[in-house]
């Protein structure tokens, strides 16, 4: 029996290079500066050994969805200087540990959670970098603000002392063709352009995953969140 979660260092290296090539090509294609898009490696369900192998290839930014799993991995990888991004759904009773352990949170969709994260951010750490999540697909079941909701609340976010609002994030519904794929990313960028001010430059657009990173980069993504294309298909 073969186990598709087992991978050789070679296949990881090959996939990682492929993803980096895709990003470089997309940057070049829309005349964006090489290196203007950061790669966040999404390592949920992946082992500490896989993360270590990817870090050895030069990857520094890692995204995790589940707090318990993430904190355990961080403890085992303390010797590496990795930057950890929380991209999962936030539960109210877990904000303290998120505030204590992460450098970034991409999935903020509640002022209450953000207020707690700010209050619970340890004093010896710099402010927590955050993205506010926008529901670009209009599905009720999805987390995230509509553009109008966020416009009303942004001022309240901007004054939280230990939170730095860096930008917006979205997880669009899967789409079949290129123009449908680009639409939610275009919407996120337009919203960002409307909301940004000198005091709140919103320099980050966290958008694009394994299947749609080109569309996201074309529309201005500054950080793409890639799991399967680097590590192979996930098995739960």
Ligand X SMILES: *Cc1c(COP(=O)(O)O)cnc(C)c1O
CB 188 within 8 A of CB 153: no
Where in 178-217 is the site for ligand X (CB under 6 A)? 209-210
CB 86 within 8 A of CB 98: yes
Where in 110-169 is the site for ligand X (CB under 6 A)? none
Per-residue binding string, ligand X, 21-50, x by CB under 6 A, is ---------------------x-x------
CB-based contacts of 146, cutoff 8 Å, min separation 6: 134, 135, 138
- H or E element that contains 27: helix 9-29
Question: Taking CB under 6 A as the rule, does residue 5 contact ligand X?
Answer: no
CB 133 within 8 A of CB 109: yes
- Judged by beta carbon, residue 88 or residue 220, the one nearer ligand X is 88
Q: How many of the chain's residues bind ligand X (CB under 6 A)?
A: 12
- Judged by beta carbon, residue 23 or residue 42, the one nearer ligand X is 42
Q: Minimum Å distance from CB 86 to ligand X?
A: 10
Q: For residues 211, 215, 221 and 222, what is the CA-based torsion angle, rounded to 10 degrees?
A: 60
- Judged by beta carbon, residue 44 or residue 181, the one nearer ligand X is 44
User: What's the Cα-to-Cα distance from 138 to each of 65, 173, 184, rounded to whole Å?
Assistant: 22, 9, 10
**Could you tell me which stretch among 10-18, 94-102, 159-167, 226-234 binds ligand X (CB under 6 A)?**
226-234
**Could you tell me which stretch among 22-30, 158-166, 184-192, 221-229 binds ligand X (CB under 6 A)?**
221-229
Select from 82, 171, 188, 217 the one that contacts ligand X (CB under 6 A). 171
**Could you tell me which stretch among 78-86, 141-149, 155-163, 222-230 binds ligand X (CB under 6 A)?**
222-230
CB 89 within 8 A of CB 63: no
Q: Minimum Å distance from CB 5 to ligand X?
A: 13
Retrieve residue 172's tokens.
């669009």
Where in 65-104 is the site for ligand X (CB under 6 A)? 65, 87
Retrieve residue 109's tokens.
């969709």
- Give 83's strand partners: 61
Q: Minimum Å distance from CB 159 to ligand X?
A: 27
End-to-end alpha carbon distance in the chain: 18
Applying CB under 6 A, which residues contact ligand X?
42, 44, 65, 87, 171, 209-210, 225-229
């Amino acid at each position: 029996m073969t186990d598709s979660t087992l991978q050789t260092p070679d296949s990881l290296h090959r996939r990682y290079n492929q993803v980096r090539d895709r990003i470089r090509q997309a940057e070049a294609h829309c005349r964006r500066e090489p290196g203007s898009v950061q790669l966040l490696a999404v390592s949920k369900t992946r082992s500490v050994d896989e993360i270590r192998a990817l870090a050895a290839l030069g990857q520094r930014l890692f995204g995790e969805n589940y707090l318990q799993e993430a904190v355990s991995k961080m403890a085992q990888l303390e010797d590496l200087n990795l930057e950890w991004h929380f991209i999962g759904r936030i539960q109210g009773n877990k904000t303290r540990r998120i505030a204590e352990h992460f450098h970034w949170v991409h999935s903020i969709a509640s002022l209450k959670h953000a207020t707690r994260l700010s209050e619970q951010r340890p004093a010896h750490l710099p402010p927590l970098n955050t993205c506010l999540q926008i529901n670009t697909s209009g599905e009720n079941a999805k987390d995230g603000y509509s553009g109008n909701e966020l416009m009303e609340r942004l001022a309240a976010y901007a004054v939280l002392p230990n939170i730095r609002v860096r930008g917006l994030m979205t997880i669009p519904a899967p789409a079949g063709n290129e123009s449908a794929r680009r639409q939610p990313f275009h919407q996120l960028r337009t919203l960002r352009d409307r909301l940004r001010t000198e005091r709140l430059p919103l320099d980050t657009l966290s958008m694009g995953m394994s299947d749609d990173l080109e569309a996201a980069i074309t529309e201005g993504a500054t950080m793409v969140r890639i799991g399967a294309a680097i590590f192979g298909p996930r098995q739960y």
